[in-house]
């Protein structure tokens, strides 16, 4: 099986190859097979991407928002028409089962293009009257934006960054994760097919060094990263050197609190989605599940029963609902955490092992009796490992939930609506859920507090991160000067 892209990079409306760059194998996570290869961008490729993006952006900024929006909405329609093919590609890139990718990847990318395409025509400034004088503001693009992606949602991430950037009149260079180089290339192709002028959405491949070169280039105006906190620190620091705009979508160790009055099956559903969807490789996952002591044993019993219904297998088989880890490296990181969990005394309820088959498959794993100070309750694992912790008191569980350096997400399951809002108001997290978990509609802002990030993606909030205001003061009378 080979899923070889036409070439490694997509620049100025066409595929570009330069085989002198670092060779990157494309590995299908379900088999471990090498299914293609790309080459990291060389200096020449980076230069080509930057110069063509800069050139194209100047013209793009002069078009009306309605024109820009029309192109983005056309791209959304094409993506929806090709949802199945794009979902299969996403599955080859990430290993996530088709039963997921058919519903949340290309479709989420299309949502972003549609939403920001719809907003584009309404991005305006305002008139500010001040008696005789007045001021007005002009919402302007930032210029050249760089997007750097993680490997868990390659199609979605490429559009969550690209759509608002383009809607606001910017150009984008997107560097996908080296682990999942395939999907963003298709997005770039489709944008051209939809009528996007060449040079505005470029995709270049590479390891961290390529990302670092982009971030430090003085011609780049904004950087949006989806990745881990350690990478975020480096990218944020490099961007600060050039006083660039940033959006940082980083890691998490989010709390999911289940009170004793919660609908237990719904809470289980939330905990399963928040820990095992995409084999647990979701930044906003609620991996610290605080369960009220009164319902803990019942919760664990039902959880084990429902996990028994997981269908682990070939991700291209639509009945499969739990696939492999994205890479051998990520699988080993998670296996190490499972060993640490056992050695620190957490009670292994189920899973914990690697499956005896090709590919990077781990069993969905649950630990109970987890204490706040255990490594598996403190560090982001980014795999199918749920930590269940007990609690009895509301004030105490809020303090424990907030006792983390991260602040991406938080969730509460309870049938007491006053409590739900009271608790959510106290939780230090950017993207929260009541009686649900991990919904990420384009209409709502998404992003983290504390070490989990800076800025917001999606919703009208994203417009603020891809545009800037020019203010113009207009004096109608004479200018009075001291001399
Ligand atoms: P990572 O931090 O290893 O890599 C992310 C991207 O940064 C990759 O494209 C990588 O090549 C690039 N990169 C690495 N070093 C760089 C440097 N010095 N300069 C510029 N770019 C550099 O993350 P990952 O392993 O790909 O993804 C998993 C992480 O991403 C997890 O921590 C997860 O929580 C986080 N994540 C966050 C969100 C969110 O929206 N908050 C979404 C998905 C994943």
pLDDT tens, position by position, 85-136 = 999 999 999 999 999 999 999 999 999 999 999 999 999 999 999 999 999 9
Note the pLDDT of residue 80.
98
pLDDT in tens, 362-405: 999 999 999 999 999 999 999 999 999 999 999 999 999 999 99
Q: Tell me the two tokens of residue 18.
A: 């330069």
pLDDT in tens, 30-46: 999 999 999 999 999 99
User: Residue 196 carries which DSSP code?
Assistant: P
pLDDT interval class at 1 (50, 70, 90): confident
In DSSP terms, 248 is beta-bridged to: 225, 454
pLDDT in tens, 411-455: 999 999 999 999 999 999 999 999 999 999 999 999 999 999 999
Structure-token match 């029309």, residue found: 70
Beta strands in 308-369 (DSSP E): 347-350, 365-368
Residue 453 beta carbon below 6 angstroms from any ligand 1 atom: yes
What lies within 8 Å, CB to CB, of 450 at 6+ separation is 404, 405, 406, 407, 428
Note the pLDDT of residue 72.
99
Catalytic annotation on 198? no
Map residue 446 onto helix, strand or coil.
strand
Note the pLDDT of residue 343.
98
Closest CA to 351 of 418, 306, 315, 412: 306
Map residue 91 onto helix, strand or coil.
helix
- CA quadruple 467, 148, 284, 423: dihedral positive or negative? negative
Catalytic annotation on 59? no
Catalytic annotation on 249? yes
Question: Residue 299: what are its φ and ψ, rounded to 5°?
Answer: -60, -45
Note the pLDDT of residue 249.
98
pLDDT in tens, 8-65: 999 999 999 999 999 999 999 999 999 999 999 999 999 999 999 999 999 999 999 9
Beta strands in 266-408 (DSSP E): 288-292, 347-350, 365-368, 385-391
Note the pLDDT of residue 366.
98
Q: HSE (CB half, 13 Å, CA atoms) of 156?
A: 22
Residue 247 beta carbon below 6 angstroms from any ligand 1 atom: no
Which element (helix H / strand E) includes 169? none
With beta carbons less than 8 A apart as the criterion, state whether 161 and 465 touch: no
Query: Distance between alpha carbon 338 and the CA centroid of its chain, in Å?
Result: 25
Q: Tell me how far the alpha carbon of residue 225 lies from the centroid of ligand 1, in angstroms.
A: 7
List the residue whose alpha carbon is closest to atom 14 of ligand 1: 208
Residue 147 beta carbon below 6 angstroms from any ligand 1 atom: no
Q: Residues 283, 363, 380, 432: which is the catalytic one?
A: 283
| Percentage of residues in the chain having pLDDT higher than 90 | 100
With beta carbons less than 8 A apart as the criterion, state whether 273 and 417 touch: no
Residue 156 beta carbon below 6 angstroms from any ligand 1 atom: no
Average pLDDT over residues 159-175: 99
pLDDT interval class at 73 (50, 70, 90): very high
Q: Would strands 9-11 and 365-368 be described as parallel, antiparallel, or unpaired?
A: unpaired
Catalytic annotation on 178? no
Residue 160 beta carbon below 6 angstroms from any ligand 1 atom: no
pLDDT in tens, 454-483: 999 999 999 999 999 999 999 999 999 999
pLDDT in tens, 320-338: 999 999 999 999 999 999 9
């Amino acid at each position: 099986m080979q899923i070889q892209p036409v070439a490694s990079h997509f620049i100025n409306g066409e595929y570009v190859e330069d085989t002198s760059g670092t060779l990157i194998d494309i590995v299908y996570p379900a088999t471990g097979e090498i299914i293609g290869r790309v080459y990291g961008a060389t200096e020449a490729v980076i230069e080509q991407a930057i110069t063509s993006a800069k050139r194209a952006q100047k013209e793009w900024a002069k078009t009306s928002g309605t024109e820009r929006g029309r192109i983005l909405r056309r791209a959304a329609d094409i993506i929806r028409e090709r949802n199945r093919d794009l979902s299969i590609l996403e599955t080859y890139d990430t290993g996530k089962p088709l039963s997921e990718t058919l519903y949340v990847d290309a479709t989420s990318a299309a949502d972003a293009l549609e939403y920001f395409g719809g907003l584009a025509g309404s991005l305006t400034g305002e008139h500010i009257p001040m008696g005789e004088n007045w001021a007005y503001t002009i919402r302007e693009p930032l210029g050249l934006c760089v997007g750097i992606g993680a490997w868990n949602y390659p199609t979605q991430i490429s559009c969550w960054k690209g759509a608002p950037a383009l809607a606001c009149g910017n150009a984008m260079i997107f560097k996908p994760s080296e682990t999942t180089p395939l999907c963003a290339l298709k997005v770039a192709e489709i944008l051209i097919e939809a009528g996007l002028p060449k040079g505005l959405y470029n995709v270049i491949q590479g390891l961290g060094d390529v990302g670092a070169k982009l971030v430090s280039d003085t011609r780049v105006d904004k950087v949006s990263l989806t990745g881990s906190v350690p990478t975020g620190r480096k990218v944020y620091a490099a961007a600060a050197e050039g006083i660039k705009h940033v959006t940082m979508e980083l890691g998490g160790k989010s709390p999911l609190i289940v009170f004793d009055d919660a609908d237990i099956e719904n809470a289980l559903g939330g905990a399963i989605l928040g820990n095992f969807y995409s084999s647990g490789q979701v930044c906003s996952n609620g991996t610290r599940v605080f369960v009220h002591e009164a319902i803990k044993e019942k919760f664990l019993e039902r959880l084990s029963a429902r996990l028994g219904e997981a269908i682990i297998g070939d991700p291209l088989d639509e009945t499969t609902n739990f696939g492999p880890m994205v890479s051998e490296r990520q699988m080993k990181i998670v296996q190490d955490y499972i060993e640490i969990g056992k050695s620190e005394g957490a009670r292994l309820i189920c899973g914990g092992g690697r499956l005896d088959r090709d590919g990077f498959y781990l069993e969905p794993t649950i630990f109970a009796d987890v204490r706040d100070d255990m490594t598996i309750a403190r560090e982001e694992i980014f795999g199918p490992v749920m930590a269940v912790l007990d609690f009895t008191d509301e004030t105490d569980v809020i303090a424990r939930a907030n006792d983390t350096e991260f602040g991406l997400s938080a969730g509460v399951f309870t049938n007491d609506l006053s409590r739900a809002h009271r608790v959510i108001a106290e939780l230090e997290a950017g993207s929260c859920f009541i009686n649900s978990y991990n919904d990420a509609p384009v209409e709502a802002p998404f992003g983290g507090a504390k070490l989990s990030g800076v800025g917001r993606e999606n919703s009208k909030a994203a417009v603020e991160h891809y545009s800037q205001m020019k203010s113009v003061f207009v004096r109608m009378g004479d200018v009075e000067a001291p001399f």
